[in-house]
Amino acid sequence: MTTLTVPGGYTKTAWEKIVRRGRKLMKEKSGIQWALGDLVIEALDGHSRGHGEVTQVLKMLSHQIGANPETLRSYYDVARQWPKAKRRKDVSFSVHATLAYVPSRYTLIRKDPYDPFTKEHRWTVNEAEKVANRAVHTPTNQAERLAHTRRLLHTEEDAAKAVTEMLGRPDVRARLASDQHARHLMRQAQYEHWREVDEATEAEAELVSADDAAEVEEEFDEEAAPLGVQYSEAPMEILRLIGAFASFSVSLQRIIPEVHTQDYTEETKQAVLDNVHKARMLLDWCETAIKTGKTDPDKALARLMKDEEGE
């Protein structure tokens, strides 16, 4: 017997004895399954097989011999797909059943595949399911385990609950924190969540009556308007400056919470810092212009703007 993986608490000799007995019983069971399938084929031989005759014969025979009609039907279907000359006596009926509708089954059955679970070269239902492109019942690698998990967690509610529980494990959190793709997906989820919240808030605001909306807008304008500024009298350039600052402020408030420096290269960080420096220089220029009336930029800023124009 090929070397087997022995579970804890058993000696190699004792376990091999159990496996030999089990395989002998499975072989006997397979023999009975084949025999019952062949029995139905023989019973139908020479008789009409249309208009429900097969179902009628199967139903009557199963009741009279004490078998389940569906089970007997499955034995019959498999036996039809596997002529006696194409069957392997050392391969279980269950494997033949799994491969029954694989086009190249007669060729495939000749060679034993490697079973990573038992560390043997032999046909098992698990390996047959892989060949038949069906879901395996005993996953033996990460891809199969993940596929099995996805099938189990097919509802969004179950999947979300499982993820929440997994995040309770420190080692899982650590792996996710170090995975750039996982962090990106989480940030994207947060962005979509808050976007939906914003849309819901805006939808609720639209339900407010026109009078209430006008009152709220008036209060907002009074609070937001800089002291001493009368928009109806302010010069256009001042209004444009205030508008630019407001737009700049709102944009930063939305974007900065999405920043995650651990995902950026040093070059990327430096590019942002260069723009921060540039913004400070522009703000200093604006402050100087308002306080002193001097609108000419200093040499450093002038050189910077000239370089940008050259680009």
| CB half-sphere exposure, 43, CA atoms < 13 A | 19
Do residues 65 and 122 share a domain?
yes
Does the CA dihedral 135-141-147-151 come out positive or negative? positive
CB–CB of 131/113 below 8 Å? yes
Using a 10 angstrom Cβ sphere, with 0-12 exposed, 13-18 middle and 19 or more buried, the burial of residue 94 is middle
**Helices 299-310 and 266-292 meet at what angle, rounded to 10?**
130
Q: Is residue 175 part of a domain?
A: yes
Its pTM surpasses 0.85: no
Q: Which domain holds residue 79?
A: 12-136
pLDDT at 202: 63
Q: What is the dihedral of CA 186, 191, 192, 196, to 10 degrees?
A: 140
Paired with 120 in beta bridges are 115
Do residues 131 and 58 share a domain?
yes
Q: Is residue 64 part of a domain?
A: yes
Q: Is residue 2 part of a domain?
A: no
> Can you tell me the mean pLDDT for 135-148?
71
CB–CB of 40/93 below 8 Å? no
Split into its structural domains, the chain has a count of: 4
d(CA 198, CA 190): 12
Do residues 113 and 195 share a domain?
no
pLDDT range class, residue 252, cuts 50, 70, 90: confident
Residue 130 has pLDDT above 60, yes or no: yes
CB–CB of 298/285 below 8 Å? yes
Q: Which residue has the higher pLDDT, 148 or 100?
A: 100
Q: Is residue 84 part of a domain?
A: yes
Residue 115 has pLDDT above 80, yes or no: yes
pLDDT range class, residue 296, cuts 50, 70, 90: confident
Q: Is residue 200 part of a domain?
A: yes
Q: Is residue 224 part of a domain?
A: yes
Secondary element (H or E) of residue 291: helix 266-292
Amino acid sitting at position 3? T
pLDDT at 213: 47
pLDDT at 210: 47
Q: What is the dihedral of CA 147, 152, 155, 157, to 10 degrees?
A: -110
Do residues 173 and 227 share a domain?
no
Do residues 182 and 128 share a domain?
no
CB–CB of 98/128 below 8 Å? yes
CB–CB of 190/273 below 8 Å? no
For residue 234, give the 3-state DSSP assignment. coil
Q: Is residue 143 part of a domain?
A: no
Do residues 215 and 112 share a domain?
no
